[in-house]
Amino acid sequence: MAVSEDWNALIGALETLCEEEEQALAALDGARLLKLADRHAEIGRRLAACAMETPPSPEAQARLTKLHIRHEALAQRIRAHQDAARIVLQALGVEDMPAYGPRGRR
């Protein structure tokens, strides 16, 4: 597979993954979000390896920039949900949430 095809395939996978992450968040499906986060990390590693071989084309860079902005908005929404859950649990008297660090997954 040519490097430009690698970029296109990986970016396409990341675009699809971002859509799945947004759907999981809308459904408040935390378990699915955690699984998707692992896939997201794998695609990120593959993109980094691809970048070591050749830089992305201007088109690929533009797509990556849009995805970064979209993903940052998603991350902010996830943090807001975590903060809201933390407030509810504190109101219920739950002081420790072992599955979460101060701002997310351990």
pLDDT digit string (tens) for 10-47?
999 999 999 999 999 888 888 898 899 899 999 999 99
Grade residue 67 by pLDDT with cuts at 50, 70 and 90. Answer: very high
Grade residue 106 by pLDDT with cuts at 50, 70 and 90. Answer: very low
Grade residue 100 by pLDDT with cuts at 50, 70 and 90. Answer: low
Gap between the terminal Cα atoms of the chain = 36
Whether 74 and 22 have beta carbons less than 8 Å apart is answered as yes
Specify the pTM: 0.71
DSSP-derived letter for residue 57 is P
